[in-house]
């Protein structure tokens, strides 16, 4: 006897699911919903950002884009083989070079595959600092950030408050222990990484790829181009 049930989605037709699966909903609908849910959380300025529309004019940019594409493929392969995602990224370097753009492009492609993803700025993350179990909504957010399969923390700032450092460390360390994928973004150059918590950097160094973003600020390029069009 087959271990599978044949189900029918009104939109996508027949599909098979394991008989004892907890969730038997259509996999195509599930992926679409996961992407739509993620898009709702995005800053509007980055709704269109993708790997496809990242313009490369230098070999460094091209190499970085290709690396991001390969990284996405690797994560999807690991997810499909039910392996822990394990690897991560650290984007560091100059302002306006497309760090946030590429990170969100990566998250969109992963969300499309039904992988759970979340984007948060470090400043917003620190708003979740505070005593445990006081505010259940905050506690829920912290738990979600620890559990999501892929988390981007953007604009990592220098943290002077010990409780801020502990909150970030606790999230990164829980993810590290569970072999989850974390992507950190910072304007700090590699030689100055010691201004960040060394426990965080050490964990990232073990499994993440560090990519420098050292080219020209795209915001000024884009402004020059649009001024010419006027």
Q: Which of 34, 64, 97, 100 binds Mg ion (CB under 5 A)?
A: 100
Dihedral through CA 135, CA 139, CA 141, CA 145, nearest 10?
160
9 binds Zn ion (CB under 5 A): yes
The reply to whether 17 sits near Zn ion by the rule CB under 5 A is no
Check binding of 64 to Mg ion (CB under 5 A): no
Among 49-57, 114-122, 131-139, 202-210, the segment contacting ligand ATP (CB under 6 A): 49-57
Distance in angstroms (rounded) separating the CA atoms of residues 108 and 149: 13
The bridge status of strand 150-154 relative to strand 181-186 is parallel
- Residue 108 interacting with ligand ATP (CB under 6 A): no
Q: How many residues bind Mg ion (CB under 5 A)?
A: 1
**Binding of residue 98 to ligand ATP (CB under 6 A):** yes
Q: Establish if 28 lies at the interface with Zn ion (CB under 5 A).
A: yes
Between 150 and 152, name the residue whose CB sits nearer to ligand ATP.
152
Binding to ligand ATP by residue 54, rule CB under 6 A? yes
Residues forming the site for Mg ion (CB under 5 A): 100
Residues forming the site for ligand ATP (CB under 6 A): 49, 53-55, 95-101, 155, 187, 213, 218-219, 222
């Amino acid at each position: 006897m087959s271990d599978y049930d044949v189900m029918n989605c009104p939109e996508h037709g027949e599909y098979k699911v394991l008989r004892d699966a907890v969730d038997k909903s259509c996999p195509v609908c599930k992926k679409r919903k996961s992407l739509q849910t993620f898009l709702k959380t995005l800053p509007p300025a980055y709704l269109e950002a993708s790997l496809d529309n990242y313009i490369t004019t230098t070999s460094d940019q091209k190499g970085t884009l290709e690396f991001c594409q390969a990284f996405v493929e690797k994560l999807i392969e690991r997810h499909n083989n039910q392996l822990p995602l394990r690897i991560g990224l650290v984007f560091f370097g100059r302002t306006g070079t497309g760090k946030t753009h590429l990170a969100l492009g990566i998250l969109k492609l992963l969300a499309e595959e039904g992988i759970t993803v979340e984007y948060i700025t470090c400043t917003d993350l620190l708003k979740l600092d505070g005593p445990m179990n006081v505010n259940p909504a905050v506690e829920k957010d912290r738990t979600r950030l620890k559990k999501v399969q892929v988390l981007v923390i953007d604009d990592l700032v220098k943290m002077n408050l010990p409780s801020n450092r502990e909150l970030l460390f606790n999230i990164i360390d829980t993810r590290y222990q569970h072999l989850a994928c974390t992507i950190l973004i910072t304007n700090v150059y590699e030689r100055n990484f010691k201004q960040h918590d060394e426990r965080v950097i050490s964990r990232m160094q073990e499994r993440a790829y560090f990519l420098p973003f050292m080219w020209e600020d795209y915001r000024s390029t884009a402004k020059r181009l649009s001024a010419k069009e006027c």
